[in-house]
Structure 1
């Protein structure tokens, strides 16, 4: 089967799945919707694996689409290494999410609608990664945003879910406005929107007429406008505020949004345009990514909602990837995107299993000692968390090491004292904070509060390892063969849907999928496909290890003290409380945006307080910061008066026009019509039908002719 047919059938089954599942209203078939969706994902993975991609050149398929004057824009499918890995990754993550969802939402009345939305989401993301030009990508970009709106607001009867969905949708529309401007500017610069045309040599330098902007400056502006769209989609400063609220949707949907679809679309787009990212634009992108990663990690440290910790963690790790693209380490960023997809999806699904077990309780302070209740989930969570932290034998160790190496090389290229050095510093701080909040989460959720997490992990791992060795020894021992086999069979039998899903993602979070060497990223096959910096600083893993140990010691002690205070009803006071509230509320950025919004609408006297309370902005507006009254005065004293004057002038002119129309135009027309009517009446009398009158007229005409001839001659 040729690539064109494979892609067509692959996209077609997801689109058909969306329509089919959405139409399943019968309660019997609703329960089968999850398994129908899983079959669709399996078929999609089979189709994708049969797609052969050249390793040295791109493969593209074009169809006639738009003709605008001399400009032709084709509907183009571009398949290269960047497309291929995302194409497979999206469908693998979607498979595990769907499998987990079959149990998580088994009693939900809208289960068929949920799986329909998932299939549309996957279809939209696949269309985005296959897009061969910016305009086509923009269409699927918007469709991905719409699907996220549907999934975040899936439980539409919940007020918080509705508000979160609307917020995500509106914030992303703000970013999309910047992206649209960037698309127009790139079209002006290159005269084309195809990604393979975006190379500096194709720049049309004769098409520029902008004052104070060189061609390179305009290209920098265009890239930054595109990056404006990325800041919304991939939750970067200053438009990252929607992502923590997006946790109101079902947890498996959050896993898909955070791991391989919505939020990584921005990183994917930056990778697509990476050949034309100028040095100035790259520095801005890297600084924004680094700063975002630190601020989000600080906020994650002070969260108590198990999902919000992971949400801020996603923002932080996306900052890592964005910074990597800005530094030019595209291969390392994509490698981290791939590893992050597995371990973050695993973490979210483990969190979903915990929430399900706790009857939808999400406050980590009310959990604890779940290692005994959910052992499989704990070990999967432990592996995925270790990968997020970047510990050896995990894929995260390799990808974070490659990014940190690129950051140190980038920061020290122009000497030790320059603004670029901020990038590795910020990423190092983020690595420490990542270890801190993940250890804090493990202690709160899984361990007994009086136990040391180090001892607990070591003892639990030792028991598990000894049990596994004993089982293998029993299998190898002929006398106890049945006993060993029985243990293995019983273990597999007792695995539930949740367990299978998280185990699969935990296995994918280890090193062996990407490299044969768990201690060095130099042997990673992924980086051989994508260009990457060959620089390797051997001291970086040791520094990361020291930061982890430091975070482990500090995090456990502070977490234990924090839980003790919670149980005793004690709260932080003074400057400590202020910093806690500042970080927990993500530096009040959300409140700031709400305040700015309300500054431009009604004043305190006219805002409906119940409406303000309904959208959680009570007290956001304050009289001394309000701009609305000033605009109201301008509107009343200037705009309204100007409109009144113009209205009176228009009315006066209309009266004059009416008189002219009545007296002159209508009068003239009426007089002409009446004159013609009278003339017609008179002429009509001559056509009476009396022969004697016709003979009399004929005699008169003859006499006139005779008289004229006499006068002439």
Structure 2
């Protein structure tokens, strides 16, 4: 508890200091770049390069703030854990790795922080040490290794340009446009793996095997947002045509996650798919050219998504560990504060005026209406907004409406959740007022978008349609009769993320497993063993037996050698 309190105070104080510092940097239009050379060889030098501007400082303050509240939340959620301090140390390492990614302007040190996120996230995903968590941890680690390899190739391209600091490289991009084009492709690939865009989406719901505080931290402000932040930093490079085709991948990710969440019954997985949908929204608006709006939605999403996971953790913690929403219902009476916080975060996710999510999502929707030149982009985007409202309403009806249907016979209550409720209420306050405060002080030039009335009201129309659809499908049951079996298979396909988990694991692992079997038989149990340990053992055994026979029969051997020598000499004399 002492460790949790110390980390909470340090993170909270650091958050407020960095927030006000970021505002002063924003209004002063100030940017500080610190570089310290570690070593140099040939024409390259390895430097510790730190960038301090309003974006890095504000994002760091949000990470510190959410992390401090999650640390307090974890002190009660994980109180039965015998190794609570080890869990807190892992969380702190996770946050520090994110700090390296945010504050570094050198791609080599960004890779160090990037790998730190991957390593610590693997340790946190497998924290409960069962087969499900092991599989999820390996899928998470291997999916993110694709992004690590992309950054390594990006480092090679930047070495061609003479520096690993993107702040200095992006200024002279007209000189070597071809190299920068390929560099931008690999940066986008790295961001898509870390932010779980199609076809790398399978690992994000699988990472729900981690404890709920870890899920709250990962899905709000750290691991999955690192890809969007990396794109924000390389935004001037991606103004080239490299990112124009990637908007469709993000749109499909947004649509797939929203559709799957409407047919999913696992509470944490629904919220994870919600995160995937919002990441797709950030990528869409970024690839359409509005990097500030993508960053603004990233900050607002961190507030209400952390709160949503914390509310889900209180419910799971209090109903015996069940995560299936079909075994919940009527929880508004035993969980009044949790229900209020859950509603605040869900309504903010839906973009209800005038919560924090409204200020970012409404601007994003209007910017898409203004900038998208394709009806496919417009249609898929607004359908995905309706799906977001739909699964949010469905989740509220399943969990808090109806009758109590839990398998646990004990009375569920939030009475013993003091620290968790306090951190949730503070975060709910930010989810209500944080958006208005950020939009007032965070943009030196206000956004003013002029659209026809029909396009202006399109967001409200899709929200109302989503409310109706979500309420209707909350009572939709799929039976095992022959008439509805095809609907069952369709729902399994949709909620299974279009078979992406199978394609990401079975289709790739079969080749590696067959190659592993071949190398095991042909190499490890084959010629390397024959000429290696087994052959050496056979040679040593033969030598031992030979010398043992010599020692045991030395008199006979001496007579045989003398007689053989005499016969040889006689034969030689006769010849």
The reply to whether TM is greater than 0.5 is yes
Deviation at 1:47, TM superposition (A): 4.8
> Which position in structure 2 is the counterpart of 1:45?
15
Deviation at 1:308, TM superposition (A): 0.1
Matches within 5 A, 1:339-378: 339-378=300-339
What is the RMSD computed on CA atoms of the aligned residues?
2.9
Does residue 248 of the first structure (1) align with residue 170 of the second (2)?
no
Q: Point out the structure with max Rg over C-alpha.
A: 1
Deviation at 1:288, TM superposition (A): 1.7
Q: For structure 1, which runs of at least 5 residues remain unmatched after alignment?
A: 1-30, 206-214, 413-419, 451-492, 608-627, 648-713
Does residue 588 of the first structure (1) align with residue 504 of the second (2)?
no
- Conserved 8 A contact 1:198-1:276: no
Does residue 513 of the first structure (1) align with residue 434 of the second (2)?
yes
> Which position in structure 2 is the counterpart of 1:300?
261
Deviation at 1:526, TM superposition (A): 2.2
Number of residue pairs aligned between Structure 1 and Structure 2: 513
After superposition, the C-alpha distances for 1:372-421 in whole angstroms (9 at most, x for unaligned) are 11011111110110111111111111101111122122213xxxxxxx44
Does residue 153 of the first structure (1) align with residue 138 of the second (2)?
no
After superposition, the C-alpha distances for 1:327-370 in whole angstroms (9 at most, x for unaligned) are 11011001100110000000000000110111111000000000
Change (3 A) 1:61 1:446: same
Q: Which has the higher contact order (CA 8 A, sep 6+)?
A: 2
Change (3 A) 1:525 1:127: same
Q: 1:561 is paired with a residue of what secondary structure?
A: coil
Does residue 389 of the first structure (1) align with residue 350 of the second (2)?
yes
> Which position in structure 1 is the counterpart of 2:537?
none
After superposition, the C-alpha distances for 1:414-467 in whole angstroms (9 at most, x for unaligned) are xxxxxx4433322211101001111111011011169xxxxxxxxxxxxxxxxx
Deviates more, 1:287-296 or 1:536-545: 536-545
Matches within 5 A, 1:102-501: 102-156=75-129, 158-188=130-160, 190-199=161-170, 201-205=172-176, 215-216=177-178, 218-412=179-373, 420-448=374-402, 496-501=418-423
- Runs (4+) of structure 1 exceeding 6 A deviation are 569-572
Separation in structure 2 between the aligned mates of residue 541 and residue 159 of structure 1, nearest angstrom: 49
Match of 2:6 among 24, 36, 44: 36
> Which position in structure 1 is the counterpart of 2:470?
555
Q: For structure 2, which runs of at least 5 residues remain unmatched after alignment?
A: 405-414, 532-575
Deviation at 1:286, TM superposition (A): 1.9
Change (3 A) 1:182 1:79: same
Deviation at 1:527, TM superposition (A): 3.0
After superposition, the C-alpha distances for 1:527-561 in whole angstroms (9 at most, x for unaligned) are 337xx865343645522222122222222122113
TM-score (norm 1): 0.67
Separation in structure 2 between the aligned mates of residue 383 and residue 330 of structure 1, nearest angstrom: 27
After superposition, the C-alpha distances for 1:561-584 in whole angstroms (9 at most, x for unaligned) are 33xx67xx8798233122101011
After superposition, the C-alpha distances for 1:496-524 in whole angstroms (9 at most, x for unaligned) are 222212211111112x33437xxxx9x64
Separation in structure 2 between the aligned mates of residue 203 and residue 195 of structure 1, nearest angstrom: 14
> Which position in structure 1 is the counterpart of 2:441?
525
Separation in structure 1 between the aligned mates of residue 320 and residue 135 of structure 2, nearest angstrom: 23
